[in-house]
Structure formats: structure tokens, C-alpha cells
């Protein structure tokens, strides 16, 4: 459902949708692009089987504002989805807590050829997204 103050009195535009009346979900998207080039996006966009190094940056990640994240990764020939809860993101060693100087409560996470396989456990197919969101929500508070 589209979030609103009727569903969540504290809602102030900080997440994208509400599931099952209790799960706050934020969607972030990024493209796989060649790492060290200033070419336009349509030139530096990579295919999923490319051997080039890429940088995929999920920005303005506010772990305290939602329960679950859906990350959408776009290559020229495929779209991939990962579903993580806010604790899994915040505790991830690749999460940079503080995207901008002086920033509080907002970070970013870069995926690249070297670390992308570490996120395989969170990958979901489109028809699995609803269950993956519910599963990620169930994992909240169960981090060791």
C-alpha cells in the first residue's frame, strides 16, 4: 500500500510503501556502469556478463526509517533484486554510515564485481518479492 499518515501517524515521506499494515519498505535502484569512465550512461551501461569492473551505488540509505529494503540492480540485459532488512544493511561492512559530511542517519552502499556475490543470499526473483520482504522482516532483531 502507499504509505500515509492514516496507516502510520509518524509517516513523513521516508519510505516507499507499507506491506501487511506493519512493514515499512524502501526501494532503491542503481545501474551497473563501467567504473572509470565519463561516457554517457547509455555507453557505460554494462551487460550482466561483462568482465569490466563496475560500481553500483545505493544512495541515501536511511536504515532507521524503514524495516526492509528492496534493491533493484539494472544491467543492459537483466534486472536483479535483493531484499534485506534494515539491520542487515546497517551492519554490513560495505555500508558507509554517512554519505555526506555532517550527515546523520543516512549512508550508502557500493556493490561491485568484488563484493556482489556476498549478497547472493538476499537475491529474489520478481515473483518472490512479497515473500522475501516478509522473510526479511521476520529476521529483524535476530542478528547475532
CB burial of 104-113 (b: ≥16 within 10 Å; e: otherwise) equals eebbbbbbeb
What's the grid cell of residue 34?
563501467
Asked whether the predicted pLDDT for residue 84 surpasses 80, the reply is yes
Is 79 within 8 Å of 48 (Cβ atoms)? no
Is 28 within 8 Å of 62 (Cβ atoms)? no
Asked whether the predicted pLDDT for residue 128 surpasses 70, the reply is yes
What's the grid cell of residue 29?
535502484
Cα angle 15-131-32, degrees, rounded to a multiple of 5: 60
pTM here is 0.87
Q: What pLDDT does residue 100 have?
A: 54
> 143 or 44, which is more confident?
44
Q: What pLDDT does residue 143 have?
A: 55
pLDDT digit string, tens, across residues 90-123: 888 888 776 555 566 678 888 888 999 999 999 9
Q: What pLDDT does residue 144 have?
A: 43
pLDDT digit string, tens, across residues 64-83: 889 999 999 999 999 999 99
Q: What number of H helices and E strands is found in the chain?
A: 3, 9
| Every domain of the chain and the residues it spans | 17-134
- Alpha-carbon span 118 to 122, nearest angstrom: 9
Amino acid at each position: 500500500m502507499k504509505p500515509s499518515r492514516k496507516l502510520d501517524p509518524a509517516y513523513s515521506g521516508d519510505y516507499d510503501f507499507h506491506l501487511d499494515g506493519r512493514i515499512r519498505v524502501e526501494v532503491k535502484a542503481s545501474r551497473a556502469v563501467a567504473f572509470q569512465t565519463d561516457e554517457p550512461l547509455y555507453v557505460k551501461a554494462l551487460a550482466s556478463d561483462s568482465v569490466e569492473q563496475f560500481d553500483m551505488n545505493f544512495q541515501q540509505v536511511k536504515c532507521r526509517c524503514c524495516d526492509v529494503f528492496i534493491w533493484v540492480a539494472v544491467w543492459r540485459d537483466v534486472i536483479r533484486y535483493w531484499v534485506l532488512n534494515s539491520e542487515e544493511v546497517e551492519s554490513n561492512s560495505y555500508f558507509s554510515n554517512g554519505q555526506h559530511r555532517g550527515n546523520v542517519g543516512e549512508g550508502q552502499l557500493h556493490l561491485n564485481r568484488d563484493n556482489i556475490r556476498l549478497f547472493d543470499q538476499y537475491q529474489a526473483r520478481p515473483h518472490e518479492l512479497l515473500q522475501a520482504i516478509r522473510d526479511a522482516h521476520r529476521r529483524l532483531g535476530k542478528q547475532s
